[in-house]
Chains A and B, each alone.
Chain A
Amino acid sequence: DQQVKQNSPSLSVQEGRISILNCDYTNSMFDYFLWYKKYPAEGPTFLISISSIKDKNEDGRFTVFLNKSAKHLSLHIVPSQPGDSAVYFCAGFQGAQKLVFGQGTRLTINP
């Protein structure tokens, strides 16, 4: 049972344009949602989070939107830069300090 799903394995975007990464979830009990970024041969690093009581959180070029009725969240990156090329994981926080991750989306920013 995949509680968090990222249905797009990959995404290619032109430098300077907007990147939109999507994530769907089935567990209504998640308190927070988080996005992690991962470069090859490194561990994931935290990017941005959103509480389940909010619908938007912004941090510089990164904005996360949460649509609870649709059980959907998205990460917007504007403008996209070459250094944003990485694998992005969304995750739901379900208590006991445990995260449930999606499968990941590989973002490639083309010059």
Chain B
Amino acid sequence: DAGITQSPRHKVTETGTPVTLRCHQTENHRYMYWYRQDPGHGLRLIHYSYGVKDTDKGEVSDGYSVSRSKTEDFLLTLESATSSQTSVYFCAISEWGNTDTQYFGPGTRLTVL
């Protein structure tokens, strides 16, 4: 299995509070991604990174920010959590040129009350 960990694995928070999710990889892969999974929507890309300090938006980036200060860590921040951000969040990594090797972490279940 690819070395990807996500923390925390579960979190319950209240509307309006800031939340940061962490993705850590030991594979030294260049690309890192944050997705959310919701019933009826599959997996939707929030943000992705193509290198240290290089990030770009995905299709559902509103309300989220990311940072990547080291190759191995990719942080997803909800500045002020809303109930619509209740979801399961997955981090993924891939190496340039390998279209079929996007490896996923175990996920973080976030509940915003």
Binding site for B on A (CB under 8 A): 4, 6, 9, 31-32, 34, 36, 41-46, 49, 89, 91, 93, 96-104
Interchain CA distance A104-B31 in the complex, whole Å:
24
Binding site for A on B (CB under 8 A): 4, 31, 33, 35, 40-45, 48, 50, 56, 58-59, 90, 92, 94, 96, 99-107
Interchain CA distance A41-B99 in the complex, whole Å:
24
Q: Is the CB of A89 within 8 A of B107?
A: no
Provide the residues of chain B in CB contact with A31, threshold 8 Å. Answer: 99
Provide the residues of chain A in CB contact with B59, threshold 8 Å. Answer: 100
Provide the residues of chain A in CB contact with B35, threshold 8 Å. Answer: 101
Provide the residues of chain B in CB contact with A91, threshold 8 Å. Answer: 43
Asked if A97 meets B48 with Cβ closer than 8 Å, knowing A45-B104, A46-B101, A49-B99, the reply is: yes
Q: Is the CB of A34 within 8 A of B100?
A: yes
Which secondary structure characterizes the binding site on chain B? Answer: strand
Q: Is the CB of A98 within 8 A of B106?
A: no
Provide the residues of chain A in CB contact with B56, threshold 8 Å. Answer: 96
Q: Is the CB of B100 within 8 A of A43?
A: no
Q: Is the CB of B99 within 8 A of A93?
A: yes
11 contacts between A and B (CB under 8 A): A6-B42, A31-B99, A32-B100, A41-B106, A43-B104, A44-B90, A46-B100, A96-B50, A97-B31, A97-B94, A97-B99
Q: Is the CB of A42 within 8 A of B100?
A: no
Provide the residues of chain B in CB contact with A34, threshold 8 Å. Answer: 99-100
CB distance from B110 to the nearest CB of A (A): 14
Provide the residues of chain B in CB contact with A43, threshold 8 Å. Answer: 4, 90, 92, 103-107
Interchain CA distance A97-B101 in the complex, whole Å:
10
Provide the residues of chain B in CB contact with A42, threshold 8 Å. Answer: 106-107
Q: Is the CB of A103 within 8 A of B107?
A: no
Q: Is the CB of A99 within 8 A of B106?
A: no
Q: Is the CB of A101 within 8 A of B42?
A: yes
Of A4, A9, A97, which is in contact with the most chain B CB atoms at under 10 Å from its CB? A97
Of A4, A46, A98, which is in contact with the most chain B CB atoms at under 10 Å from its CB? A98
Q: Is the CB of A103 within 8 A of B40?
A: yes
Q: Is the CB of A98 within 8 A of B45?
A: yes
